Amino acid sequence: MCELVILSLGPGNFDDGFSAVTARLGTPGNLSMQFTGSLPPAPEIPQLYRNWQLLYQALCQSNRGSRSIEIVEGGVTNVSEGVFQDVCQSLEYSINSWLGSVEFRNIELQLRTQLEISQSVQVVIESDDEYIWRLPWQLWNFFQDYPHAEVSLSTPEYPSPPPLLPRTAQAEVRILAILGSSEGINLQEDKDLLRQLPGVEVTFLVEPKRQELNDKLWEQGWDFLFFAGHGCSENNATTGRLFINQNPHHNSLTIEELREALSRAIDQGLQLAIFNSCDGLGLARQLAAVGIPMPTMIVMREPVVDQVAQKFLNYFLRAFAFREPFHLAVRQAREQLRGIEDQYPGASWLPVICQHPAVMPPTLLYHPTPVLTKPVLKKQKWLVLTAIFLVGCISGYLFAGPQIAVFFNRLGNKNHSEGQLLLAQQYYHLATLANWKYAQPHYNFGWLCDESFDDQVCAIEAYQRAALRGISDAWAELARLHIENKNFEAALKAIKECLERTEYDAVKAACLKNRGWIRWEQKRYDEAEEDLQNAIALEHNSPHSHCLLAQVLEATGRQQEAVVAWKETIQYSEYQVPEQDACTAIAKQRLQGEAD
């Protein structure tokens, strides 16, 4: 089962920031976790994108056969690819700096904690902001670290999707392929690629009139809709227009003009629309604006050269036809476009998925019929069946095991939060048996032993297993437990591993706080203060860091500075956490003494 992450940016823009960002995590139809954060203002990002857009369009104009009916004139000429690449790198750096901000850190840390790198993940970005839609989100470091994740876009408001109609595995997939205005471009290759698909029935409409297209959409049972030809977005990418023929008049359509026909096609089972034409973001946004439950769509975010459109279609159909999951087929095809970027700079930034967050991803549902060549002897049949059984068992473990492990870990989380601790313990154990490499249940079990069972030996062993499987937070927890047991040597080893392995400021802060704790216990006050100040710089709202710093400052005779640290200890404390509750008690005592 593919994991689903819906990242809702809420109201806001790049000038003012996005103050209420929410990430929901789970599987389609069962989003069981939610995390919150925000994103700061970043007015430089839209400007960088506009710079990239102008340079890209200038380069695009130098290549013949663009599928855009018109490219915006930006007054940019003689663009070097070196300048273009510099702007690409600046935009990538700015996007990652923005998404690496302190305000967003909780969401990213939770996603990386809950999701395995080997998992298949769909990330849906919900927003109404034009530049959120235009950004190449695949540049986010998260997608570089999660090779089976892909991003898609959605508006924040959408109607309920129609019920998925049942269909048999033997039924052919029906594709309505519209080959629109082909002035100056070659659509024959698109046609040939669709014809080569196994197990599908393709109906072609070549430069149709509006009524002909409308009538075909009303026919029953289209699975996929395909459009190739000229197109464009208008009104800040909120409206899309398709040029369906080369007539002098009535040669184009908007989504609004196809509203009833498209609604009918979606109600009757349309799963996927591919618009292999220029600048299709407006099509997806207009579809949502007119209240049609958007099927999954693939569009191009900017003008696309004919050869790039054909290459993408070829790569995508080849991956999808051989049963690659839909979103991974798109990612694979997009990444393969990098191989032609010496001729067509920026090609891999163009394809983007737009989807209804509650819609299951489409499948081609092609099942080739096996061909028997030679009769098999009875004894050989038993050997073959035995081999198939063994291979099935091993394959089942290898392929189903990770998904089963995730399921058991979720059940463990659920029972843990509901106070069913023994059940939670059993589910965590089952998760580790289903996938021995899966780190999360080991970490969760360590937390259970530590916080609920008060069994430090059990907690240390579980955190050790989680740390060795890649969860850097576990090193910080190990260090804390070793410090509580006065085993400073083991704690320092865990802290060293933590600082070397983690990329996250919150985890680094916890490890630096732990090292400052050790130095305070050892009365090495200068080193303790340095570590604690560095920890606070990374995570200002850590009450334990302020508590330890206050004690270091008192020990070195700096009473007024200590009072400030004690006040911040109280400000950030959560009373249900034992070590924080203890710090709060000390802080109140000290501040009361100052008042007296």
Q: What's the CATH number where 97 sits?
A: 3.30.420
Same-domain status, 200 and 303:
yes
Instruction: Please compute, for residue 433, the number of CA atoms within 13 A of its CA located in the half-sphere on the CB side.
Output: 7
> What integer pLDDT is reported at residue 93 of this predicted model?
95
Same-domain status, 324 and 407:
no
CATH number at residue 445: 1.25.40.10
The verdict on residue 167 lying in a domain is no
Ramachandran bin of 395, using left for φ above 0, alpha for ψ from -120 to 50, beta for the remaining angles: alpha
Rg over alpha carbons for the chain, rounded to the nearest Å, is 29
| Other Cβ atoms within 10 Å of 160 Cβ, number | 8
The verdict on residue 532 lying in a domain is yes
Is the Cβ–Cβ distance between 66 and 306 less than 8 Å? yes
- Tokens at 358, concatenated: 């509650």
The verdict on residue 26 lying in a domain is yes
- Tokens at 561, concatenated: 């500075």
Q: Tell me which of 321, 354, 387 is where a domain ends.
A: 354
Is the Cβ–Cβ distance between 175 and 194 less than 8 Å? yes
Rounded distance between C-alpha atoms, residue 387 and residue 467, angstroms: 37
Same-domain status, 344 and 452:
no
Is the Cβ–Cβ distance between 276 and 173 less than 8 Å? no
> What integer pLDDT is reported at residue 401 of this predicted model?
61
The 8 Å CB, 24+ separation contacts for 338-343 are 340/307, 340/308, 340/311, 343/63, 343/307
Same-domain status, 301 and 337:
yes
Same-domain status, 260 and 189:
yes
The verdict on residue 390 lying in a domain is no
Rounded distance between C-alpha atoms, residue 104 and residue 21, angstroms: 8
Q: Which residue bears the tokens 């659920």?
A: 414
Same-domain status, 483 and 535:
yes
Same-domain status, 99 and 218:
no
The verdict on residue 160 lying in a domain is no
Is the Cβ–Cβ distance between 364 and 321 less than 8 Å? yes
Question: In DSSP terms, which residues pair with 3 in a beta bridge?
Answer: 121
Is the Cβ–Cβ distance between 65 and 306 less than 8 Å? yes
Q: Tell me which of 102, 125, 154 is where a domain ends.
A: 154
Number of domains in the chain: 3
| Residue 170 CB partners (closer than 8 Å, separation 6+) | 367
CA dihedral sign of residues 211, 186, 57, 48? positive
The verdict on residue 103 lying in a domain is yes
The verdict on residue 363 lying in a domain is no
| Other Cβ atoms within 10 Å of 316 Cβ, number | 24
- Tokens at 329, concatenated: 């087929």
Same-domain status, 117 and 189:
no
CATH number at residue 190: 3.40.50.1460
Domain span at 108: 3-154
| Residue 510 CB partners (closer than 8 Å, separation 6+) | 473, 476, 480, 498, 535, 539, 542
C-alpha angle 158/129/230, rounded to 5°?
Answer: 80
Is the Cβ–Cβ distance between 149 and 212 less than 8 Å? no
- Tokens at 468, concatenated: 């060795």
Same-domain status, 110 and 217:
no
Q: Tell me which of 323, 354, 385 is where a domain ends.
A: 354
> What integer pLDDT is reported at residue 415 of this predicted model?
81
Question: In DSSP terms, which residues pair with 18 in a beta bridge?
Answer: 12, 39
Helix (H, G, I), strand (E, B) or coil at 247: coil
> What integer pLDDT is reported at residue 164 of this predicted model?
64
Same-domain status, 253 and 333:
yes
- Tokens at 24, concatenated: 């929901």
> What integer pLDDT is reported at residue 304 of this predicted model?
86
Same-domain status, 210 and 293:
yes
| Residue 305 vs residues 90, 229, 337, 457: alpha-carbon distances, Å | 24, 11, 12, 62
Task: From first to last of the 596 residues of the chain, give the pLDDT tens digit.
Answer: 679 999 999 999 999 999 999 999 998 778 889 999 999 999 999 999 999 999 998 887 766 544 444 444 444 445 677 889 999 999 999 999 999 999 999 999 999 999 998 888 999 999 999 999 999 999 999 999 999 999 999 999 887 877 666 554 445 788 999 888 877 777 888 888 888 777 788 999 998 898 999 999 998 778 899 988 877 766 666 677 788 888 888 888 887 888 888 888 988 888 898 988 776 788 888 887 777 777 799 999 888 888 898 899 888 988 887 667 899 999 999 999 999 998 999 999 999 999 888 887 787 644 333 333 334 344 444 444 444 444 444 444 444 567 787 878 888 888 887 788 888 888 888 888 888 788 889 999 998 898 888 888 889 999 999 998 888 889 999 999 999 999 999 999 999 999 988 877 888 999 999 999 999 999 999 999 999 999 999 888 888 899 999 999 999 999 999 999 999 888 877 644 555 667 888 888 888 877 66
| Other Cβ atoms within 10 Å of 220 Cβ, number | 9
| pTM for this predicted structure | 0.60
Rounded distance between C-alpha atoms, residue 414 and residue 420, angstroms: 9
- Tokens at 462, concatenated: 């579980």
Rounded distance between C-alpha atoms, residue 142 and residue 467, angstroms: 20
- Tokens at 220, concatenated: 């029953």
Q: Which of 290, 291, 309, 289 lies closest to 299 in space, CA to CA? A: 309
The verdict on residue 206 lying in a domain is yes
Is the Cβ–Cβ distance between 14 and 131 less than 8 Å? yes
> What integer pLDDT is reported at residue 254 of this predicted model?
82
Same-domain status, 466 and 558:
yes
